[in-house]
Amino acid sequence: MADDDLQSIVDELAERLERSVAIDDPAIRLLAASRHFGDEDPVRVSSVLNRAIPAEISDPIFAQGIAGWVEPGMVDITAIPGALPRLCAPVRCNGLLLGYLWLIDKKGEFRQAEFTAAAEAAEQAGTILYRRLLIHQRSQARHEAILRELVSPDALIRAQAIDDLRAEELFPESAMQFTVVAVHCRTGGATPPPQEVALEAAVEEGLRAVSPDVALMVANRARAWILLAQRQPPTRLLISTVTDRIAGRFTRLTHAGAAPVFGIGTTVGRLDTITESYRHASLAARAALLVPGIGDVAYWNELGPYGLLLKLSADDLAGAAEVPALTALEQEDNHHVLAETLETFFDHGGNIRRTAEVLNIHRATLYQRLKRIEQVTGRTLENGDDRLTLHLGLKLRGLATALRDHLDGSP
């Protein structure tokens, strides 16, 4: 048996025990499976066909605490229709959980020798998976370092990163399209370490949806970004699949109050312009964090004026938000009724009927408020420049407030 072959381990154990054997990763995704001996059940069949099992099956399994096991034990999933009892041997090495080895029995009656054999096979598998993990981590760390340099402000560093990427031969020689997807957490910089691990695991889950194209990632505290390299620009369906998988996995691994948002950068055709897609994706993710109504997935090319406003630094944004006309309105309007009316009016394109409906007031009341706004601000709503000043000022103030609140939540 080759010492780096999981398949050999499951095949040898299966023939020795005359039972089917499978090894999964820590998320219960299939890594290797033997032939069956008439002991397969619907869960095993689904795992072999789909390389994974759905959450409604995996959740009851995890609920039995298998992630903390250090020796084989019995898992009861007979509440699932057609499922048979299982022996689960945790696959570990150097204290790390690397997967699970499974045996099935119709009655759940395993001899002590089978427990021992499963533990020994799991130990062999642990050595192999640990070696793979080290190789993967070294490769991932190398790629992350190159990607960070690829978006460096220094042109010489970016040029070296491009040479390094080509040397790694990660992309085919044919023309490629590159798109950056930025992932930020709503909890900002206050993310605790366990959530940092959750973000990385969630992004890795999203990358699996990109196969067979290339997807590389960088993860750092409450932020991550993905470089998609494809022959065609990513479709909306692919972006939705990637973001849904990341969000779903992240939610399952963290508390209910945490959630990721996504920024989709422009698609570029050259490695030396990826920094442009990265900058746009980061600003789009910032918009998803700060601007109500944009949603959890923001496309740079759909941000409109927010794309320009978000390029301002926090200090410049706060300074630009100090519009004298709106300051006067704020001083006059302690309950923010007039400011809310004005913003709703602008957000509905100046449509009196829709604005009144949204505010749940009579049109005559709306006209009175708009007249009062003109008196207090010294601006005329029929004048295009005055409307632009007030509307842009409201957006700037909203962004400045959201950014200040966001920064106040960071350590």
Arithmetic mean of pLDDT over the chain: 86
Residue 110 and residue 13 share a domain: yes
pLDDT, average across residues 23-32? 91
CATH of the domain at 273: 3.30.70.270
Whether the per-residue pLDDT at 189 is higher than 50: the answer is no
Give the pLDDT confidence of 323-347 residue by residue, as tens digits. Answer: 888 888 888 887 889 989 998 998 8
Q: What is the pLDDT of residue 31?
A: 93
Residue 298 and residue 257 share a domain: yes
In contact, 375 and 263? CB cutoff 8 Å:
no
CATH of the domain at 365: 1.10.10.2840
Q: What is the pLDDT of residue 173?
A: 66
Residue 329 and residue 299 share a domain: no
Residue 95 and residue 124 share a domain: yes
Q: Spell out the alpha helix ranges (H) of 335-382.
A: 337-347, 352-359, 363-377
pLDDT grade, residue 277 (50/70/90)? very high
d(CA 208, CA 184): 19
Residue 184 lies in a domain: yes
CATH of the domain at 88: 3.30.450.40
d(CA 151, CA 171): 18
Residue 364 and residue 401 share a domain: yes
pLDDT grade, residue 310 (50/70/90)? confident
pLDDT, average across residues 176-180? 93
pLDDT, average across residues 217-237? 88
d(CA 182, CA 198): 16
Please tell me whether residue 335 adopts helix, strand or coil conformation. Answer: coil
If one counts the domains in the chain, the total is 3
Write down the residue that tokens 């630009």 correspond to: 320
Among 197, 185, 297, 201, residue whose Cα is nearest residue 246: 201
Q: What is the pLDDT of residue 405?
A: 66
Q: Tokens in use for 366?
A: 């709306």
Residue 193 and residue 216 share a domain: yes
Point out which residues pair with 208 in neighbouring strands.
none
- Give the end of a domain, one of 309, 343, 364: 309
Q: Tokens in use for 57?
A: 């099956």
Among 185, 210, 190, 183, residue whose Cα is nearest residue 284: 183
| Cβ-proximal residues to 369 (8 Å cutoff; 6+ apart), any chain | 337, 338, 341, 361
Kindly report which listed range (49-63, 224-238, 270-284) carries the lowest average pLDDT score.
49-63
Q: What is the pLDDT of residue 3?
A: 43
Higher pLDDT, 257 or 335: 335
pLDDT grade, residue 192 (50/70/90)? very low
Residue 159 lies in a domain: no
Residue 237 lies in a domain: yes
Q: Is the dihedral of CA 162, 168, 171, 173 positive or negative?
A: positive
Among 260, 259, 308, residue whose Cα is nearest residue 283: 308
Residue 56 and residue 30 share a domain: yes
In contact, 355 and 366? CB cutoff 8 Å:
yes
Whether the per-residue pLDDT at 358 is higher than 70: the answer is yes
Residue 301 and residue 180 share a domain: yes
Please tell me whether residue 301 adopts helix, strand or coil conformation. Answer: helix
Higher pLDDT, 401 or 110: 110
d(CA 73, CA 119): 10
d(CA 326, CA 191): 35
Residue 140 lies in a domain: no
In contact, 331 and 346? CB cutoff 8 Å:
no
Residue 169 lies in a domain: no
- Give the end of a domain, one of 273, 293, 309: 309
Phi-psi region of 29 (alpha: psi -120 to 50; beta: other; left: phi over 0): beta
Q: What is the pLDDT of residue 276?
A: 95
Residue 230 lies in a domain: yes
Residue 299 and residue 332 share a domain: no
In contact, 345 and 361? CB cutoff 8 Å:
no
Whether the per-residue pLDDT at 411 is higher than 50: the answer is no
List Cα–Cα distances, 182 to 104, 139, 161, 223, 316, in angstroms. Answer: 42, 21, 20, 8, 24
Whether the per-residue pLDDT at 223 is higher than 90: the answer is no
Determine the structural domain holding residue 99 and report its residue range: 6-128
In contact, 184 and 222? CB cutoff 8 Å:
yes
pLDDT grade, residue 256 (50/70/90)? low
Sheet containing strand 297-299, edge to edge, reads 214-220, 223-230, 177-185, 260-268, 297-299
Residue 284 lies in a domain: yes
Q: What is the pLDDT of residue 222?
A: 77
CB atoms within 10 A of CB 141: 10
d(CA 335, CA 83): 61
- Give the end of a domain, one of 94, 128, 162: 128
pLDDT grade, residue 255 (50/70/90)? low
In contact, 359 and 341? CB cutoff 8 Å:
yes
Q: What is the pLDDT of residue 187?
A: 62
Most confident region among 62-66, 120-124, 142-146, 286-290 by mean pLDDT: 120-124
pTM over 0.75: no
What is the number of residues in the chain? 411
Residue 323 and residue 344 share a domain: yes
Residue 145 lies in a domain: no
Longest dimension (CA), the chain: 90
Whether the per-residue pLDDT at 63 is higher than 70: the answer is yes
d(CA 302, CA 300): 5
Cis, peptide link before residue 212, omega less than 30° from 0:
yes
In contact, 291 and 284? CB cutoff 8 Å:
no
d(CA 42, CA 210): 28
Give the pLDDT confidence of 373-401 residue by residue, as tens digits. Answer: 999 999 999 898 889 888 888 888 888 77
Residue 305 and residue 182 share a domain: yes
Residue 188 and residue 301 share a domain: yes
Q: What is the pLDDT of residue 257?
A: 65
In contact, 198 and 253? CB cutoff 8 Å:
yes
Q: What is the pLDDT of residue 219?
A: 83
